[in-house]
Structure 1
């Protein structure tokens, strides 16, 4: 493998890796788009819960748009090369959207808590204006924490084997390709992960502890079951996102002896499984949205 030294930096490339037989991994791409169109065009779905679901669908679409070009480039055209600048841009958007998705899940946990603990004030607390402000703050946070990473990577010298384990670029792996001192990147990346993903997961856990406390105080068993069932879909999505994301980060940072195949599979699970399952899980749990989707495809079939 040709080494990438300082004089070759501007023209240096990374080589991406894919798994043969995964050409159809992005067939789920239209599902979030369908959900967005239905929620946008149906006034009865203009409620906080569905607005948060729209935010989640937008991040899923963003992740798909960012990763589709390189993934399909490998499988369809056997094009494995990616320039450093494009790689840095891709990892910036991937990590930003992942952190934004984490915050959307936090908002959805807060939404469930308000709906169960204070249903009479639900509409007055989660107004459209307040939701928009929270969404903007969370987007800015997701972008701000990742913004320094591409610039830090750009100043490194890359002189090691430049074959990446995935069909897209991730910060944890790209920085290991450098022959410079990467301690700043490693510490900052770990700090960002702890201060965002771990903090969000703890706040979500706290929200559900409070939800459980509220639900247990409800006298009717049927009401308890109904309230908890409304939270099941969100809990499933949260588990997929955090278990996969934190697991991949730990493996890439501290488990250097792990099989490349393990890292490849975990990378696909981390980036593809949550966006694939989110629309399906939420659509199945929401009666109104499920009915709209079935009606849409039934009319098209006719």
Structure 2
């Protein structure tokens, strides 16, 4: 039996690729990638440090923001090893088990990002539409339960897709088209019918990628109705300005996510370079941009960063 048609369910390895057509320039391409990873790690750890150090920021909105920063940090650290290893050392081999583990964490953290943004939209709705009950509705206990529900929701959503994929035989041709393991990429290497996997994947798209933004839009529709109905022009501007950071974070996540999903489903014949670039934007844009968005648009976080830096400078003297 030829190598191309032989199949196996025994553990083996996959081969990750870098930027198609630019293999000779991987070292140079690693520079912007390295800068993006460093920016993401420094930005999210700084936000977490500020939120932890400043007692005035121990409020529901900032507790949700800490969840978002932790999710972004997890997503960054999940893809960093294979991307930089490939770009620096041209080493694309990854074991069967490691590839499935990376697939699990990438998709889990991606779904957690969506779920946290949905929870933050609920926080904004309560803060603007029911301000007198804000503290009694979003207690620390309730926020803890929301965080636990987010983790359980995303883990339980991703696990079945792993089991459905792992039970299938893979062809000996095991070349992946990205620098990390994605479900959409790995399923192309399966040698048997993947209809069940496709139906489950569609269910996940409807459950998370479609339902979460629809609920976020619904929450903002109710916020707008409340603000336009009772507030003065100055109060409207203040309320909408409080939501601006969250709206930008939502756009940074969902625009690339929808683009990647549509490309994989309806534009399979476009250049592989397009798939690689869109997947990189989808995975790197939120972790890099969210700390910048919230640091620029949120006065309390700017002040917290300034305070943290000044304290550190005093210790160094």
Contact map agreement 1:33 1:57 (CA 8 A) in 2: yes
Q: Report matched runs for 1:1-302 at 5 Å.
A: 3=4, 5-7=6-8, 9-18=10-19, 20=26, 21-22=29-30, 23-24=33-34, 25-28=36-39, 29-159=41-171, 161-300=173-312
Tell me the distance in 1 between the aligned counterparts of 2:8 and 2:143. Answer: 49
Q: Which runs of 5+ in 1 are unaligned?
A: none
Tell me the distance in 2 between the aligned counterparts of 1:4 and 1:293. Answer: 57
What displacement does 1:17 show?
Answer: 2.2
Tell me the distance in 1 between the aligned counterparts of 2:4 and 2:311. Answer: 57
What displacement does 1:7 show?
Answer: 4.1
Tell me the distance in 1 between the aligned counterparts of 2:206 and 2:15. Answer: 28
- How far does the alpha carbon of each residue in 1:189-219 deviate from its partner, in whole angstroms, 9 at most, with x for none? 1111111121111000000000111110134
- Partner SS for 2:170: coil
Q: 1:219 and 1:50, CA in 2 relative to 1: closer, same or farther beyond 3 A?
A: closer
Tell me the distance in 1 between the aligned counterparts of 2:235 and 2:172. Answer: 60
- How far does the alpha carbon of each residue in 1:96-129 deviate from its partner, in whole angstroms, 9 at most, with x for none? 1111111100111111111111111111110000
Tell me the distance in 2 between the aligned counterparts of 1:216 and 1:105. Answer: 23
What displacement does 1:16 show?
Answer: 3.1
The 10-residue stretch of structure 1 (105-114 or 78-87) with the greater mean CA deviation from structure 2: 78-87
Tell me the distance in 1 between the aligned counterparts of 2:5 and 2:221. Answer: 51
Q: 1:4 and 1:215, CA in 2 relative to 1: closer, same or farther beyond 3 A?
A: farther
How many residue pairs get aligned? The number is 302
Tell me the distance in 2 between the aligned counterparts of 1:234 and 1:71. Answer: 29
Contact map agreement 1:3 1:158 (CA 8 A) in 2: no
Tell me the distance in 1 between the aligned counterparts of 2:156 and 2:231. Answer: 45
What displacement does 1:301 show?
Answer: 5.2
Tell me the distance in 1 between the aligned counterparts of 2:52 and 2:272. Answer: 42
Higher relative contact order (CA 8 A, sep 6+): 2
What displacement does 1:4 show?
Answer: 7.5
Contact map agreement 1:172 1:253 (CA 8 A) in 2: no
What displacement does 1:75 show?
Answer: 1.6
What displacement does 1:179 show?
Answer: 1.5
The 10-residue stretch of structure 1 (268-277 or 158-167) with the greater mean CA deviation from structure 2: 158-167
Give the root-mean-square deviation of aligned CA atoms.
1.8
Tell me the distance in 2 between the aligned counterparts of 1:79 and 1:284. Answer: 38
What displacement does 1:294 show?
Answer: 2.4
The 10-residue stretch of structure 1 (122-131 or 67-76) with the greater mean CA deviation from structure 2: 67-76
Contact map agreement 2:7 2:172 (CA 8 A) in 1: no
What displacement does 1:271 show?
Answer: 0.3
